[in-house]
Amino acid sequence: MPNDPLRIAVFGASGRMGAQVLAASAGRVEVGLALVRPDSPDLGRACPGGSPARGGVIRFEGASTAAWDGIGAVVDFSSPDGLREAITYCGRYRIALVSGTTPCAPELDRSLDDLALRVPVLHAPNFSRGLWALAKMIPGFRSWLGASFEAGLLDIHHAAKKDAPSGTARALAAAWGSGQSERTASASLRLGQAVGDHALWIEGTGERIEIWHRVRDRRVFAEGALDAALALAARPPGRYTLDSLWEPSGGSCL
């Protein structure tokens, strides 16, 4: 039915971000599949939270045994291996893919490009609207300040985060260094339960600009990913960016 809610599959459903996507889905989308790796201790357990499709209880399951009928989008916060699996199933069943999994190696990025020939695809290291806006501002700072200023980045995340620097830090460094040959210095701290803090220090002779972005609740990432899933599900194949959602002009795929 045209007015039926979007039905999604969540890769990495039992992880930190997967749990947030399930919680944020209530009232917005239906969760059809809560997917975990085949050796997950959560396999077969009832899935807490979320808004299950067709009523009843959904359970954590593996992608290879799942019933994919009616799935309109995949939301992936898993691992590089999980992302590879998500790409496979999205291609097989022609399903839109939204992924926040990092790191995204060059071969995975090429696989996303190939998938985008068949379905709409969005991969982003961070789904925070505030962080997105900051990244859009950074090239302007670089242009206004000139070559005598240099920048460094600090990213702070929870102790279990595996990639350092984070995908977000790499994106911010790329925004500062766009069109420039030098690398932006960065440092990473993995400590406790920190959700995600990023600092951009812009240093000039006798002055410094410090810009901080702090996330207090992972829910902001989940909400952004669901925004993307709802937007992409009805769009034509292509490689999309967050600009496609949040630019005032509405943006377009790459």
Catalytic residues: 157, 161
Give, rounded to a whole angstrom, the gap between the first and last alpha carbons of the chain: 31
d(CA 90, CA 1): 22
Q: Tokens 């690398």: give the residue.
A: 183
CA distances 132 to 31, 82, 129, 164, Å, are 26, 25, 5, 20
Tell me which amino acid residue 13 is. A
Q: How many CB atoms lie within 10 A of CB 4?
A: 10
The strand order across the sheet containing 73-76 reads: 60-61, 30-35, 7-11, 73-76, 96-99, 120-123, 238-240
